[in-house]
A and B are shown apart, each in its own frame.
Chain A
Amino acid sequence: MNVQARILYPLTALVTTNTKMSLFSRKAFFPGLIASFPLGLVIMFRILWIIWGAPSDDPEATDAFLIYSMLCAMMYMQLIIPLLSLLKGMGTFTEEIEEGTLMFLRLRPAPRSIIIAGKFLSYVITTTVLLIISLWSVYTILSTIPGAGMFLGDLKVLIKDTWVLVLGLVAYGAVMMLIGTYFKHRIMIGVFVLFVWDAWAAYIPGSAHKFTIKYYMQSIFPHQREQTIVESLLTNNPPASMTASIITLLCIALVSIFLTSLAFQFKELSSGQENES
């Protein structure tokens, strides 16, 4: 088999078929609901504004960019991206085991790493589509707030936010896929990694923060949550450089994908063993 037949055809088939199955099915409902949560909030906020007028006379409280920035830092960064990776990233591979369809992939001569890469790319595309719909709609709606003209023109911010968040989806998703493949209590471990370790490691003195994805994402994310005095005293960690952050996040993803393909190659992942006959 040539390279095209060995890599390209299986890869495109995996990406297109899995993306279609993920996006246009009931499987997209919960991730879609999660991704559109900030959008729902913004729509509600905007409708109420139109009906009852500006919520405050304070121009800062009605600053479109500040609202957007806060949503990015609090919602997308800390909640939406980790939750999407937990829901969709973890299921990238384990879904095939649980649904008993893994065998159909396993019995094909396509390289295992290509199968994993194809499925992972499909996860990235699916979650990116959900993220873009939500984030860009939020941006558009907020830009209709009176006096948000400058904000509307600054599309560079939106584009940067998008790729940083997608990078987060890649890194978190790959780690979740790895956890899903290797651990029995994967949801528990995934929740611990995302919402305990990643969220609180920055408060541990020393270099623990360097072993979190959040640290590298925050280093390149333009929006930061305002910290309390205690928080800023405890987490006085200098940010990593942009290059180091991007490289580290990509490395985390690549290593996780590699380790997942090893499991696919060497682990017995046959489903339905209880029905042995």
Chain B
Amino acid sequence: MAYIEIKNLSKWYGQVLGISGVTARIEPGVTGLLGPNGAGKSTLLKILTGQIKADTGGATIGGIPVWNHIKLYEIVGFCPDMEKFYERLTGLEFLTYMARLHGMSKSKAMQTARDTLHTMGLDDAVNKRIGAYSKGMRQRVKFAQAIMHDPEVLFLDEPMQGMDPLGRLQTAELIRDYGQRGKTVVVSSHILNEVEDMTNTILVLNHGQLLAEGDVHEIRELIDEQPRHVRITTPERRKLSNILIGFPEVQTISFEDAPDELMVQTMSPDAFYQRLPDLVMKDKITIEQISTLDDNLESVFDYLVK
């Protein structure tokens, strides 16, 4: 079983910081790599897959240094977040090509490609050009090229992006299954819920630094300790605010710049959301839109930094 050892990794792109002093040990199983856009997740994954060289520090996978060791790619699979393909190849041709670069004979490569496309639910698109694939299908074929050689270590950069709900479920299940089989899977994402569906173990990156590592529930608790902001769009904001002020779970109410928006701060969003529909029904108040501003990782990181 291969584990990942990261020691004091730093990477700069000229004056721009990629990551700084990241040290971690990733054990077999699924690990979520969380962070907002620009946190350094992709940089870390590119270093760990030997695509770019760290300026300082180093990393090993199963004892193999990650930079400039082609042997590494026998045990590593990588699903990038970019949308680039050999557009004129069919899904089958693309995967067969990739499998042959792994040293498989033509017949074995074709069989492996077919099996992997089947696993990813792309049987119908086997002979269709990738250029004609939908975003979700492209995401699946990208995932397929990462897993087709059954790697010990799998790096997935935003693997669910662009997938439909069913695709997300299937992919999450596949990732969990990989982890349960003793493989090491690192999944990067900026959506906490997405990662929570797959694993409890997370690394949190922000501004290129490792902010936290451990159990996702600890992070969730940290979020729950913070007040949430809910933005409500309604043509009757004065009437609504007068009613909401009486709610025990509402801490503050403020008017936004837009004439039909108000901001509610609450410690118990669940209770607040439960009560809101009754209110709408009872007082016949029109609510056009509700959005929870804190349900993104940016705010979690802000809390963590504080």
Interface residues of A (CB under 8 A from B): 1, 5-6, 9-10, 12-14, 17, 21, 24-25, 99-101, 103-112, 115, 265-266, 268, 270-273, 275-277
The size class of the interface chain B forms with chain A is 35 or more
Q: CB within 8 A of A276: which of B13, B101, B104?
A: B13
Q: CB within 8 A of B101: which of A101, A110, A266, A268?
A: A110
Q: Which 4 A-B pairs have the closest CB atoms?
A: A100-B84, A5-B103, A13-B100, A108-B101
Contact present for B53 and A268 (CB under 8 Å): yes
On chain B, the residues within 8 Å of A9 by CB distance are 100-101, 103-106, 109
- Can you identify 10 A-B contacts, CB atoms within 8 angstroms? A17-B89, A17-B97, A100-B84, A107-B51, A108-B70, A109-B71, A109-B101, A268-B51, A272-B84, A277-B42
Indicate the member of B71, B76, B101 with the most A CB atoms within 10 Å: B101
Contact present for A25 and B68 (CB under 8 Å): no
Contact present for B82 and A108 (CB under 8 Å): no
CB contact under 8 A between A108 and B98, given known A276-B13, A277-B37:
yes
Given A12-B106, A107-B73, A108-B73, output 15 extra A-B contacts at Cβ < 8 Å.
Answer: A9-B103, A13-B106, A17-B86, A21-B89, A103-B80, A104-B86, A104-B98, A108-B70, A108-B98, A108-B101, A109-B70, A109-B73, A270-B51, A272-B84, A276-B38
CB contact under 8 A between A99 and B100, given known A9-B105, A21-B89:
no
Contact present for B103 and A10 (CB under 8 Å): yes
Contact present for B100 and A10 (CB under 8 Å): yes
> Considering only CB atoms, which chain A residue lies closest to B77 in the complex?
A107
Chain B 10-51, CB-CB to A under 8 Å as 1, else 0, gives: 000100101000000000000000000111111100100111
Q: How far, in angstroms, from A103 to B142 measured CA to CA in the complex?
A: 12
On chain A, the residues within 8 Å of B106 by CB distance are 9, 12-13
Q: Shortest Cβ distance from A264 into chain B, in angstroms?
A: 11
Indicate the member of A104, A105, A277 with the most B CB atoms within 10 Å: A277
On chain B, the residues within 8 Å of A276 by CB distance are 13, 16, 18, 38, 40, 42-43
Contact present for B88 and A109 (CB under 8 Å): no
Indicate the member of A9, A106, A111 with the most B CB atoms within 10 Å: A9
Q: How far, in angstroms, from A101 to B82 measured CA to CA in the complex?
A: 10
Contact present for B84 and A271 (CB under 8 Å): yes
Contact present for B13 and A13 (CB under 8 Å): no
Contact present for A21 and B88 (CB under 8 Å): yes
Indicate the member of A109, A111, A265 with the most B CB atoms within 10 Å: A109
On chain B, the residues within 8 Å of A25 by CB distance are 88
Q: CB within 8 A of A105: which of B68, B76, B101?
A: B101
Query: Any chain A CB within 8 A of the CB of B135?
Result: no
> Considering only CB atoms, which chain A residue lies closest to B146 in the complex?
A107
> Considering only CB atoms, which chain A residue lies closest to B38 in the complex?
A277
Q: Shortest Cβ distance from B20 into chain A, in angstroms?
A: 14
On chain B, the residues within 8 Å of A101 by CB distance are 84-86
Q: How far, in angstroms, from A275 to B72 measured CA to CA in the complex?
A: 25
Indicate the member of B70, B96, B103 with the most A CB atoms within 10 Å: B103
Contact present for B100 and A12 (CB under 8 Å): yes
Q: Shortest Cβ distance from B8 into chain A, in angstroms?
A: 19
